Amino acid sequence: MAKRLTQQDIARMASVSQATVSLVLNNRQDGGVRIAPETRARVLEVIRRTGYVANPIARRLHDHRNRILGVFTYEAVFPSTRADFYQPFLEGIEEQAEEAGCDLLLFTSATAVGGKRRIFSDDSRIRLADGCVLLGRSIDRDDLAQLVAEGIPFVSIGRRDDAGGPVPHVGADYRAAVRDLVDRTVALGHRRLAYLGVGAGAESSADRLRGFREAVAAQGAEGTHVPFGGLDQLLDAGITAVLAEEVSDGAALVLAARERGLSVPGDLSVLMLGAATRPAPEEVDLTGFRIPRREMGRRAVQALTEVLENGTTPQELLTCEFIAGSTLG
């Protein structure tokens, strides 16, 4: 698929600044700046020749004060062993912000309280941005409540429960994705399934476990929640299929079974519920689903423009993609 043209592309081909392209597209003369007729004609010719269509999001954002979108991360995104997990989100955020003609401001100096980052402190600079995208597995409930109470425009990446009011978010539909995996597993004859992971705390974990419980109940199968457990515990309970919340735990279980001389998936099926947040063996081709992280980043910026433009509270869950892998049989 060809990359969508941006204002930067048009500016480069017309040998002008992106700001000039923006002024031509919006037919404006900001701050008394006048664009020479020949310059305007050159930009319009490039637009005509390339078939460029201005992004409506950029047009909607044009009149906002700073044209700066903030990104607040509750966990360090680089350098970190979790950096690969967050990278697609950041790429999607950056791509959509570029198309909207906005700069990104990454908030990294938040005061740590009890080892956790917080948005609000005595020198909080969250209001420097027109609005903010929140990124992190767990988001502080008090921060959310204050954002909602003060009417600060924001969108969370990941579903969030209400915090004194509905929370705008773009997340992944983990419940539906896990239900799909359980349905596929039961269809292959498995009757005793285990959910391996905490299944609590962050909404993403709770949604996964809820989907698991809903699906095994609907299928009339036996489902067991094992927050932490080894291979022996699972085998002794007669478990034939394990859905691992953390990819590295699922991969470790596969390797342990193979070292024991067991067949995966012949003797035990193992499925993953998303993307690795810590290093996992690459040689294990786990069955499971893929989180649409890049698209979530893009949609979060689009949702933020809706908040800024209309004062709405967008809430959207994106579909996860099934990955066949080789560990379900």
Region 195-224: mean pLDDT is 96
Chain centroid to Cα 275, Å, comes to: 11
Identical fold between 7-54 and 174-290: no
Instruction: Read off the pLDDT of residues 11-20 as tens digits, 9 standing for 90 and up.
Output: 899 999 888 8
Q: What does the block give as tokens for 282?
A: 């690459």
**SS3 category, 120:** coil
Residue position matching structure tokens 């003797």? 267
- CATH number for the domain whose boundaries are 7-54: 1.10.260.40
Region 20-49: mean pLDDT is 79
Tell whether domain 174-290 is in CATH 3.40.50.300: no
CA angle (175 as vertex; 225, 146 as ends), nearest 5: 100
Region 250-254: mean pLDDT is 95
Domain positions in the chain? 7-54, 68-172+293-320, 174-290
Left (φ > 0), alpha (ψ -120 to 50) or beta: where does 192 sit? Answer: beta
Q: Report how far residue 177's alpha carbon sits from residue 185's, in angstroms, rounded to the nearest whole number.
A: 13
Region 241-262: mean pLDDT is 95
Identify any residues that bridge with 156 across adjacent strands, giving them in sequence order. Answer: 134, 169
> Which of 180, 168, 137 has its CA nearest to residue 320?
180
The reported pLDDT for the residue numbered 33 is 62
Q: Indicate the residue type of 34.
A: R
pTM for this prediction: 0.79
Report yes or no: 35 and 24 within 8 Å, Cβ to Cβ. yes
CATH superfamily of 68-172+293-320: Response regulator (3.40.50.2300)
Q: Report how far residue 274's alpha carbon sits from residue 238's, in angstroms, rounded to the nearest whole number.
A: 25
